[in-house]
Chains A and B, each alone.
Chain A
Amino acid sequence: MTERPTFRIKGDTGDWEVVMGLEIHAQVASNAKLFSGASTAFGSDPNCNVSLVDAAMPGMLPVINRFCVEQAIRTGLGLKAQINSYSRFDRKNYFYPDLPQGYQISQFAHPIVGEGEIDVDVEVPGKEGYTFACRIERLHLEQDAGKSIHDMDPHATYVDLNRSGVALMEIVSKPDVRSPAEAAAYVKKLRAIVIALGTCDGDMEKGNLRADVNVSVCRPGQYEKFRATGDFKHLGTRCELKNMNSYRFIQQAIEYEARRQIEIIEGGGKVDQETRLFDPVKGETRSMRSKEDAHDYRYFPDPDLLPLELEQAWIEDIRKSLPELPDQKRARFEKDYGLSRYDAGVLTSDADKARFFEEVARGRDAKLAANWVTQELFGYLNKEGLELSQSPVTASALGGLIALISDNTISGKIAKDVFARMIAGEGEAGTIVEKHGLKQVTDTGAIEKVVDEIIAANPDQVAKVKDKPQTLGWFVGQVMKASGGKANPQAVNDILKAKLGI
């Protein structure tokens, strides 16, 4: 396990550090909306999944969807967070055409979930990664707004209310994230948790999970002062980067934003607190609205809804029904499969990877399986830009290959060749080995015959190896070459050593 590195940016006047807190909006995996029975299906025709409540018709009233509340509790438990037995819905008031009620129903003063904590695993290219604890401030339930479409007509804006009223969980972290890579890793970890819990499908492309990142910069030492006192005056002014739905863009945007802020401060200016948007084409952030334009949301308790009072027994029932979470899975992988924390972390970072690995490893050498999955397979998929679900080699096929290595049918080296053929679509490992005669030669008689021939033909090398045993490798190479790589390397070694008397 590596130490957590400190991420620093060099400015003209010295080093700077970055401090971030994230707000994740995760759409609750529910078939119906938070306060109405309308469908949440993606891709329906515009304004087809809209109830009278969602369209804010006169006299319509919200009724809480119990299933959505349950998902928020599940998620809270997954974040090892406090579940608040009393919470309340507030109205956040502002006018916009895609907000039919003229207010969003949210939880402002009393969220359903309080403080929690998650372990975030950060991958470091070419090195062992590290883990840091990120504290969770709160999780609350709120309604999504509809969608305004500005580019269909030069003179009009169209509004699609299908999303209006869809349940979102807003998960707010404390300012514990300290580098662009950590921010991406945090989102990745949260995503893995909600997917494992089944409370959000985690589909970032559809916007079902998106992040707002609050970025500020400070001098080394300031953050520690903040942590000691809890006083934000030790930190810089923050800007909020809105609606990020890709790990790559999150990191690019933070890098850009941190450097922009440093430039302003070093130039003698002041960072304005504002909301900014990242433009992935230009690779820069631009102002969306300043603090001066910020709405006065006039929050107040929604009088149409009763406070949510949760029975402890229900919370306990939900707790009992929780599936294995990524961290628990990682601990199990370390313990049961003898994997390193890092490998276990990589394999449990997403449920599909973990499931894939477990299928490969079932009844086989787990460490070998982990190596093949994380290095050979993931290496190939990364290079080709493929998802695990698009892998040309199935888990059971890869397991078959590993079985052949374990029972000495083929060597690790040959296995790589077999693997390449499997990717190329030649079929199961066993079939490929048969077809191309790649079976390892373990018949010592056959190997001895080859060894004798090589010893007889190379007296000089034989004389040399007596003084310099490390030149044994030359003989091994010759034998392997002569056997077409099929001789069992261990057997070759043993026989050579015996015959050469070293």
Chain B
Amino acid sequence: MTDLTALTLAKALDGLKSKQFSSVELTEAFNAAIAGARVLNAFVVETPEKALEMAKASDARRASGKAGRLDGAPLGIKDLYCTKGVRTTACSGILGDFTPTYESTVTQNLWDEGAVMLGKLNMDEFAMGSSNETSHFGNVINPWRRKGDNQGLTPGGSSGGSASSVAANLCLAATASDTGGSIRQPAAFTGTVGIKPTYGRASRYGMVAFASSLDQAGPIAKTVEDSALLLEVMCSHDPKDSTSLNIKTPDWRQDVRKGVKGMKIGIPKEYRIDGLSDEIDALWQQGIKWLKEAGATIVDISLPHTKYALPAYYIVAPAEASSNLARYDGMRYGARVEGGNLTQTYEGTRASGFGKEVQRRLMIGTYVLSSGYYDAYYLRAQKVRTRIFQDFVDAFGQCDAILTPACPSPAFAFGEKSGDPVEMYLNDVFTVTANLAGLPGIAVPAGLSASGLPLGLQVIGKALDEAACFRVGGALEDAAGFVAKPDRWW
């Protein structure tokens, strides 16, 4: 029998539909794969029994002809999503054993279409990180290794568990979330596909908040088609989220193989940053060539405020986080360190509950909102944000989508960047702009580095034009023919 865990989501759904295998069989295969891959530390909660129950119910639905769009498909869920009755901590110590009595809208949408939950995926604490080294539950290991080298590599972050588990065939696909690149960078680091939709497409209800104006749900999957399939179900209008858009979710799956003939693809000169490695530059040029060959027109564009994006992001995101995370005070749920008085209890609880990186960002955020500094930092960053948005509006006057590298480098080793926060933050240089402007962005694997690690390209679309991301992403996927998988060493 073929390895069921190696199937794409689309193939697995076909197999379920044609009764080649049952959801129970599929789920058992993934339960076994997860149990055999604990060294990767991708899952922080495994729910094999729940998964089997859901699989059985799915098989029964399918037998009675009432299957949903994802019926029987086993998925991994980033620990950022509140799941009813299943521990949810956003991989922070401060949430202790918090178990929600409610379900996030995004995951509810998945269950409503019959998906099966395998467990909760590891991530950077509160999604703050680019290497999955800040999780309370330890590092996630990238299944990829450099050629001839056994050194452990990071899967990127913050959706490191999502990326590693998809790359290592521990689930058909996974939910992830992206505040500054947390879907796209780990996807690029693990040879998977990740898309962040337009801000407001997916509900934030029940997603543990990091930075409300930037956070957006999205999938990490094995193929562009799979990512379209999953995103379609994740997105919905939700009256419980005031920033959720009241619009219909399109059928994106049919865009994936439409091709790029006649499309205009913009190449922003400002993304040719100082010190861009030859390898990444070559990949970018290769991408341009592929799209040209596929019938697209290439146009040079300018996004003049790009260099201010990263500093603006690292003001806005911590500012919102400093307020969003104030609720973790040890009073109503989660961990609490009792002190001699109220202030000591607050200080003890938050000092021991939050990790170092979260504390760093909360302090930055508190500082930039303080009276006397607000105008110089927060207000100014918001103005930069408006300019960046305007840059994109202007650029999209000349092109239909924008092609950039996803990340400045391939996956790096543990400890390589964690000593220098600024070095770590630079990882997000190509991805934060889409968050600041609220635009959709997809990362697609496009080749291997000299050291044998996956490299990704990013396509940024106009607001609500995920279709362009899927078309260009699909064309890149076809041209790259990326089929490499990590050797199974675990």
Contacts of B332 in A (CB 8 A): 55-57, 100
Is B348 an interface position by the 8 A CB rule? no
Is B127 an interface position by the 8 A CB rule? no
Is B342 an interface position by the 8 A CB rule? yes
> Do A304 and B212 have beta carbons less than 8 Å apart?
yes
Of A63, A95, A299, which one neighbours B326 at CB under 8 angstroms?
A: A95
Contacts of A159 in B (CB 8 A): 331
A58-B319 contact in complex given A100-B332, A298-B366, A300-B378, C-beta closer than 8 Å: no
Contacts of A59 in B (CB 8 A): 81-82, 100, 104, 204-209
Contacts of A486 in B (CB 8 A): none
> Do A58 and B88 have beta carbons less than 8 Å apart?
yes
Is B437 an interface position by the 8 A CB rule? no
Q: Per-residue CB proximity of A254-294 to B under 8 Å, as 1/0?
A: 00000000000000000000000000000000000000000
CA A296 – CA B204 in complex, angstroms?
29
> Do A97 and B342 have beta carbons less than 8 Å apart?
yes
Is A178 an interface position by the 8 A CB rule? no
Is A103 an interface position by the 8 A CB rule? yes
CA A300 – CA B368 in complex, angstroms?
11
Of A58, A157, A300, which one neighbours B98 at CB under 8 angstroms?
A: A58
A296-B319 contact in complex given A58-B82, A97-B342, C-beta closer than 8 Å: no
**Shortest Cβ distance from residue B334 to the other chain A in the assembled complex, whole angstroms:** 9
Contacts of B209 in A (CB 8 A): 58-59, 304
Of B81, B240, B327, which one neighbours A56 at CB under 8 angstroms?
A: B327
A57-B102 contact in complex given A100-B331, A298-B369, A304-B212, C-beta closer than 8 Å: yes
Is B352 an interface position by the 8 A CB rule? no
> Do B241 and A300 have beta carbons less than 8 Å apart?
no
Q: Which residues 71-112 of B have a CB within 8 angstroms of A?
A: 81-82, 88, 90, 95, 98, 100-102, 104
Is B329 an interface position by the 8 A CB rule? yes
Contacts of B98 in A (CB 8 A): 58
> Do B212 and A103 have beta carbons less than 8 Å apart?
no
The interface on chain B, measured as residues whose beta carbon lies within 8 A of the other chain's beta carbons, has a size of: 43
Contacts of B346 in A (CB 8 A): 95
**Shortest Cβ distance from residue A234 to the other chain B in the assembled complex, whole angstroms:** 25
CA A101 – CA B326 in complex, angstroms?
6
**Shortest Cβ distance from residue B394 to the other chain A in the assembled complex, whole angstroms:** 25
CA A102 – CA B94 in complex, angstroms?
15
**Shortest Cβ distance from residue B422 to the other chain A in the assembled complex, whole angstroms:** 24
Is A330 an interface position by the 8 A CB rule? no
Of B81, B213, B242, B366, which one neighbours A64 at CB under 8 angstroms?
A: B242
A91-B323 contact in complex given A59-B207, A61-B242, A296-B370, C-beta closer than 8 Å: yes
Is B371 an interface position by the 8 A CB rule? yes
> Do A303 and B327 have beta carbons less than 8 Å apart?
no
Q: Which residue of A lies closest to B207 (CB)?
A: A59
Q: Which residues 44-65 of A have a CB within 8 angstroms of B?
A: 52, 55-64
Q: Which residues 339-374 of A have a CB within 8 angstroms of B?
A: none
Is A404 an interface position by the 8 A CB rule? no
Q: Which residues 109-164 of A have a CB within 8 angstroms of B?
A: 157, 159
Interface centre among A52, A93, A298 (most CB of B within 10 A): A298
Contacts of A63 in B (CB 8 A): 239-242
CA A299 – CA B379 in complex, angstroms?
11
Q: Which residues 215-239 of B have a CB within 8 angstroms of A?
A: 239
Contacts of A303 in B (CB 8 A): 211-213, 243, 320
CA A413 – CA B304 in complex, angstroms?
92
> Do B243 and A57 have beta carbons less than 8 Å apart?
no
Contacts of B101 in A (CB 8 A): 52
Of B206, B327, B374, which one neighbours A102 at CB under 8 angstroms?
A: B327
Is A306 an interface position by the 8 A CB rule? yes
**Shortest Cβ distance from residue B211 to the other chain A in the assembled complex, whole angstroms:** 7
**Shortest Cβ distance from residue B48 to the other chain A in the assembled complex, whole angstroms:** 25
A61-B240 contact in complex given A296-B371, A300-B378, C-beta closer than 8 Å: yes
Is A305 an interface position by the 8 A CB rule? yes
Of B102, B208, B211, which one neighbours A52 at CB under 8 angstroms?
A: B102
Interface centre among A61, A100, A299 (most CB of B within 10 A): A61
CA A100 – CA B331 in complex, angstroms?
8
Contacts of B102 in A (CB 8 A): 52, 57
A61-B95 contact in complex given A55-B332, A103-B326, C-beta closer than 8 Å: no
Of B213, B323, B327, which one neighbours A58 at CB under 8 angstroms?
A: B327
**Shortest Cβ distance from residue A18 to the other chain B in the assembled complex, whole angstroms:** 30
> Do A102 and B326 have beta carbons less than 8 Å apart?
yes
Q: Which residue of B lies closest to A52 (CB)?
A: B102
CA A55 – CA B102 in complex, angstroms?
13
Contacts of A299 in B (CB 8 A): 369, 374
**Shortest Cβ distance from residue B241 to the other chain A in the assembled complex, whole angstroms:** 5
Contacts of A157 in B (CB 8 A): 342
Interface centre among B81, B366, B369 (most CB of A within 10 A): B369
Of B207, B342, B369, which one neighbours A300 at CB under 8 angstroms?
A: B369
CA A347 – CA B315 in complex, angstroms?
58
> Do A93 and B342 have beta carbons less than 8 Å apart?
no
> Do A93 and B213 have beta carbons less than 8 Å apart?
no
CA A95 – CA B213 in complex, angstroms?
22
Contacts of A304 in B (CB 8 A): 209, 212, 242-243
CA A389 – CA B207 in complex, angstroms?
52
Q: Which residue of B lies closest to A159 (CB)?
A: B331
Contacts of A97 in B (CB 8 A): 329, 331, 342
Contacts of B371 in A (CB 8 A): 296, 298
> Do B369 and A93 have beta carbons less than 8 Å apart?
yes
Q: Which residue of B lies closest to A92 (CB)?
A: B323
Contacts of B82 in A (CB 8 A): 58-59
**Shortest Cβ distance from residue A100 to the other chain B in the assembled complex, whole angstroms:** 6
A103-B323 contact in complex given A59-B82, A61-B205, C-beta closer than 8 Å: yes
CA A101 – CA B366 in complex, angstroms?
15
Contacts of B213 in A (CB 8 A): 303
**Shortest Cβ distance from residue B364 to the other chain A in the assembled complex, whole angstroms:** 13
Contacts of B331 in A (CB 8 A): 97, 100, 159
Q: Which residue of A lies closest to B316 (CB)?
A: A303
Interface centre among A64, A95, A300 (most CB of B within 10 A): A300
> Do B329 and A298 have beta carbons less than 8 Å apart?
no
Q: Which residue of A lies closest to B367 (CB)?
A: A298
**Shortest Cβ distance from residue B485 to the other chain A in the assembled complex, whole angstroms:** 34
**Shortest Cβ distance from residue A60 to the other chain B in the assembled complex, whole angstroms:** 8
> Do B208 and A300 have beta carbons less than 8 Å apart?
no
Contacts of A100 in B (CB 8 A): 327, 331-332
> Do A300 and B323 have beta carbons less than 8 Å apart?
yes
CA A254 – CA B90 in complex, angstroms?
51
Q: Which residue of A lies closest to B90 (CB)?
A: A58
**Shortest Cβ distance from residue B393 to the other chain A in the assembled complex, whole angstroms:** 20
Q: Which residues 181-212 of B have a CB within 8 angstroms of A?
A: 204-209, 211-212
A-B contact pairs, 26 of them (CB 8 A): A56-B332, A57-B102, A58-B82, A58-B90, A58-B95, A59-B204, A59-B206, A59-B208, A60-B205, A60-B206, A61-B241, A63-B241, A64-B242, A93-B326, A95-B346, A298-B366, A298-B369, A298-B371, A298-B374, A300-B374, A300-B378, A303-B212, A303-B213, A303-B243, A304-B242, A304-B243
Interface set of A (CB-CB < 8 Å, partner B): 52, 55-64, 91, 93, 95, 97, 100-103, 157, 159, 296, 298-300, 303-306
Interface set of B (CB-CB < 8 Å, partner A): 81-82, 88, 90, 95, 98, 100-102, 104, 204-209, 211-213, 239-243, 319-320, 322-323, 325-327, 329, 331-333, 342, 346, 366, 369-371, 374, 378
Closest 10 CB pairs of A and B: A102-B326, A303-B212, A298-B369, A303-B213, A56-B327, A59-B206, A58-B208, A59-B82, A304-B212, A97-B331
